[in-house]
Chain A
Amino acid sequence: MAFLLGEKKKRKLIFRILQERVHAAPVWRRMLEQQPPDNRKNLVATHFLISTTALVVLIVTYTGLTVSSVAHAQSEQQPLAAAENSSNPGPAPHRDLSGIWTPVGGTRVGIQAGGVQAMPNDGKQEHALPYTPYGREVYESHRALEGVDAVLPAEHNDPRNKCEPLGFPRINHYNVRMTQIFQNPYKIAVLYQYGNRWRNIWIDGRELPELVDGGVIAGGTYKASKWYGYSVGEWTDDYTLVVRTVGMMSEDRVWLDSTGRPISDAATIEEVFHRLDSGHMEWTETIDDPKLYTEPWVSMRILFESADPRTDIIEMYCSPVEMEYYYESFGNAASGVENEGD
């Protein structure tokens, strides 16, 4: 039991035992002297039993305290287990994506400033997207701050600059840095660093909701579109999870990437999470959005490595107050635009 006590309580218990024994000694001596000689033997035996028990409790308590203190100190200094060390990885665990994941190749790989990682918006023919006429129209209505068609800082209409939620799948293409994944038998939670946003992927065998106008039918019930959609995953082998997501916001609320590529509420996003070993995971994404694109296309294929699970991840928020001050102080002047009231 003593092992279950906190350090403070253990110290208190030890003190009480010692205090008890010090106070008890003279009492026992007086009781012994008052007893007839025949009873003295029984009393001595009882005293011996109580003292020994107290001593044992004392030793066990003290040992427990010392051992647990040492163990606690060691846990703070322990090297990472192989499963948590990307530089010396072991085999991948079965059906497990949990960990802190960071893009291999440094920060810029996950930031994706120039557009979705696998198809940057750089004007190259091989990166041209298969827009439908409506898809191109929507793209051309976006005044992005990045990519080949970028405008000056003050001329944008990116909802991100009003600190609107990025939504899914843009959250996969904007400042993807340290991403935490937790899972239990029912669902996987993906926690993104940017904006402290998260989404759930259900892995409990449920069906992917059916897309309907303005939302989805999930389990026979209508549910409205969500910024981060409805995601259902299925393990295709012990190391590969295929996730499909539907029911996101419409193209007038969200963008696909920072270069103004569009995404609509008709999209089905397929992600594949594939564990290569204990320290590496490949995360791919394919976009199927018949409203905006004539065919499905691969938008992301990034290798992630595991980070120290004890990492305290830096906050990265979009603050409307800070954003406004940024434009007043810098963005407008860089664009040659005067602040209101100047």
Chain B
Amino acid sequence: MKNSIVVSVPACLVALTLVNPVFAHHSAFAFDTENTTIIEGTVTEWFWANPHCLLMIDVMTNNGDIVHWVTETQAPANMIDAGWRKNDLKPGDEVTVTVQPARNGNPVGRIARVEFADGRTLDATQDRTGSTGNEYHLSGVSEKDEP
């Protein structure tokens, strides 16, 4: 396992479409949505389930300690719409994950993006059904994004 590169990056500087995930289960206020952390490590588990899929990663810090990170993304139904699959990740995969970390400092966070060693990426973007439906919106219909 390579040494991790754990850096905090202001979300506005991250070169990705930062997600406004469609989380139906809980709000985002336990997480720092203004900054993202990039962690690099080895997948120990990819838990494909409701209410949220979980990606667990062992991350080696610069002093050689292993920190077990648990990162969440959306429900499988949303993940499939966003192009993810149940077998996208497996234990042993080396990945770089961009997360919105928990405000309390625990090694948990919400996934924004996963990069594989071979350069492939998975973004935890909202559904890609392509249905904007703006022309149909009715009065009183809210498009409120979750924080």
Contact of A153 among B30, B136, B142 (CB under 8 A): B30
B52 at interface (Cβ–Cβ under 8 A)? Answer: yes
Which of A65-73, A111-119, A211-219 is found at the contact surface with chain B? Answer: A111-119
| Complex: A146 Cα to B147 Cα, angstroms | 10
B136 and A107 contacting across the interface, CB-CB below 8 Å: no
B87 at interface (Cβ–Cβ under 8 A)? Answer: no
B120 at interface (Cβ–Cβ under 8 A)? Answer: no
Count residues of A near B (Cβ-Cβ below 8 Å): 50
A104 and B131 contacting across the interface, CB-CB below 8 Å: yes
A106 and B127 contacting across the interface, CB-CB below 8 Å: yes
A48 at interface (Cβ–Cβ under 8 A)? Answer: no
Q: 1/0 per position for B20-55, CB-CB distance to A under 8 A?
A: 001111110111000000000000000101111010
B141 and A336 contacting across the interface, CB-CB below 8 Å: no
A108 and B126 contacting across the interface, CB-CB below 8 Å: yes
Contact of A333 among B102, B133, B140 (CB under 8 A): B102
A330 and B126 contacting across the interface, CB-CB below 8 Å: no
Q: Give B98-130 interface residues, CB cut-off 8 Å to A.
A: 102, 104, 106-108, 126-127, 129
A314 at interface (Cβ–Cβ under 8 A)? Answer: yes
B29 and A117 contacting across the interface, CB-CB below 8 Å: no
B94 at interface (Cβ–Cβ under 8 A)? Answer: no
Contacts of B144 in A (CB 8 A): 114, 120, 122
Report, as a range, how many residues of chain B touch the other chain: 35 or more
B139 nearest CB neighbor, chain A only:
A301
B28 nearest CB neighbor, chain A only:
A150
A189 at interface (Cβ–Cβ under 8 A)? Answer: no
| Complex: A22 Cα to B45 Cα, angstroms | 66
A316 at interface (Cβ–Cβ under 8 A)? Answer: yes
A181 at interface (Cβ–Cβ under 8 A)? Answer: no
B88 at interface (Cβ–Cβ under 8 A)? Answer: no
B58 at interface (Cβ–Cβ under 8 A)? Answer: no
| Complex: A117 Cα to B140 Cα, angstroms | 8
A313 nearest CB neighbor, chain B only:
B77
A105 and B136 contacting across the interface, CB-CB below 8 Å: yes
Closest 7 CB pairs of A and B: A104-B133, A105-B133, A145-B26, A322-B49, A107-B127, A150-B27, A336-B104
Can you list 20 pairs linking A and B with CB atoms under 8 Å apart?
A: A105-B134, A108-B143, A109-B141, A113-B146, A118-B140, A145-B27, A150-B27, A152-B30, A282-B138, A301-B139, A302-B138, A303-B141, A305-B133, A305-B136, A318-B50, A322-B49, A322-B50, A329-B70, A333-B107, A333-B108
- Contacts A258-B24, A326-B49, A334-B108 given; 11 further ones with Cβ under 8 A? A105-B132, A105-B136, A105-B143, A106-B129, A108-B127, A113-B23, A118-B142, A280-B136, A301-B140, A319-B50, A326-B51
